[in-house]
Chain A
Amino acid sequence: MLARPRAAALEVLSLRAGLAVAELLETFGAEGRIALKWPNDLMLDDRKCGGILCEARWQGTTPAWVVIGLGLNVTNAVPPALAETATGLESMLPAVTAEGLVIPMVEALRRVDAAAGPLGDGERARFARRDLAPRTCPRRSGGRHRRRAGGRRRAAGARPGRNNDGGALGHRRAGGDLSHGGSSIMLLTLDIGNTEITAGLFRGEDLGAHWRMTTNPGRTPDEWGSAVSGFILAAGHSPNEVRAVCLASVAPSVTQALVEGIARVTGCTGVQIDARARLPVELDVDEPLSVGADRIVNALAALEIYGGDTIVVDFGTATTFDCVTAEGRFIGGG
């Protein structure tokens, strides 16, 4: 569903949508059995029955629109291998049919879109009641067991270490500011140089955590995946929050293994910048195809961030000079 929430409501859109869906499902005979698991899972009797993903499209610094994506398993049979962790609505809730869910669901999401401002106290309390612990919560397994045996009994705020915002809210905030989007989704960027790799996580236009790795050609995809996911986790995020990967490489010897490792931990195929990429930088040099990806990217950044004629001095393995004109022509360098 396409939504156009206002700024303060955008920050909490996915939380508000999750709450709305949970409360609606509860009216189909699942009172007290629906929980929300950070960041975007819907749980019925502690098994996943669906998920919500909100993706914003930005025009400059303003959100043009947001897609609220909602997936629910209504009719599909759950494969035996997933029976412990997944479930379907129809098999568990006799009152549910796909046709019967559609209209009230659309109405509920419309109300989410229309809601203004941050979560109110009432919404926070209702969210907290349905909030499954973040992964780090030491009491999670006990809680799951108790609930599976006898339905939901835990009272709001009963878990230690929670704050008044509800656990999920506090947990998400710890990862960074939420000013760019209702859900915690990020772009992973990598500048792969001959001696060092710089990586950074963007949420919207804002660079959050960034780190450096040694360009080690001996590493396997598994080793790269583990290194990258380690940095992401250390920054308070999860690799599955990465929804896009963009890289510039001048070191082909490591690129393939690194990209494969990243794909394994994030599920994203990296998009690699080269001289053929359709970017608003004209490569006005004798051998355009030999211009390094990092130089193209530097020229683009200079052009769009500084605007006019710019020389970028890049202090890397080599000290390089990239010259870009106000018209967007990369005219060479040194």
Chain B
Amino acid sequence: MPGLRTAADQLTQRTAKLPATELRAPEHVIGRRTEECIQAGVLYGTAEAVDGIIRRIRAEWPGGRRPKVVATGGLATVVAPLTTSIEETDPDLTLRGLRLAAGHLGLTW
């Protein structure tokens, strides 16, 4: 699915009047200003979509086991608290994976 920034930027670019928006969660989902409305839609929309997709992935998971859900990426700390399914947040998980890969491939440092 489109990333948060991608979604917010698309809204701004494809419309005449919508402003560029800072990605942080507004206090209320019913926005009273245009920026709040965009923030509510993009952030709560993404959070609900993530929870929904996780629910469906879990239903399909092999062996009926229950996978753990870990969030990463620059905006993980913004969205993860808005979801119910994300259990761990590590914005640097990909870099840690690269460190592990470097070890497996015999790089030394």
Contacts and interface: CB of A to CB of B under 8 A. Distances in A.
A198 B74 CA distance: 9
Nearest to B4: A315
Nearest to A302: B70
A196 B3 contact: no
Contact of B95 (A189, A244, A304, A308): A189
B109 A244 contact: yes
On chain B, which size bracket covers the interface?
A: 35 or more
A199 B74 CA distance: 12
B98 A319 contact: no
A310 interface: yes
A166 to B, nearest CB: 25
A247 B102 CA distance: 9
Given A210-B92, A243-B108, A319-B3, A300 B100 contact: yes
Contacts of A248: 94, 97-98, 101
Given A210-B92, A271-B107, A315 B68 contact: no
Interface residues of A, number: 60
Interface string A196-221: 10111011010100101000000000
A196 B74 contact: yes
A306 B70 contact: yes
A285 interface: no
Nearest to A58: B103
Residues of A contacting B: mostly: strand
Contacts of A277: 101, 105
A195 B4 CA distance: 12
A301 B96 contact: yes
Contacts of A200: 92, 95, 98
Given A198-B94, A297-B94, A334-B53, A271 B102 contact: yes
Contacts of A173: none
Interface of A: 55, 57, 185-187, 189-191, 195-196, 198-200, 202-203, 205, 207, 210, 212, 242-244, 246-248, 271, 273, 277-280, 294, 296-302, 304-306, 308-319, 321, 323, 325-326, 331, 334
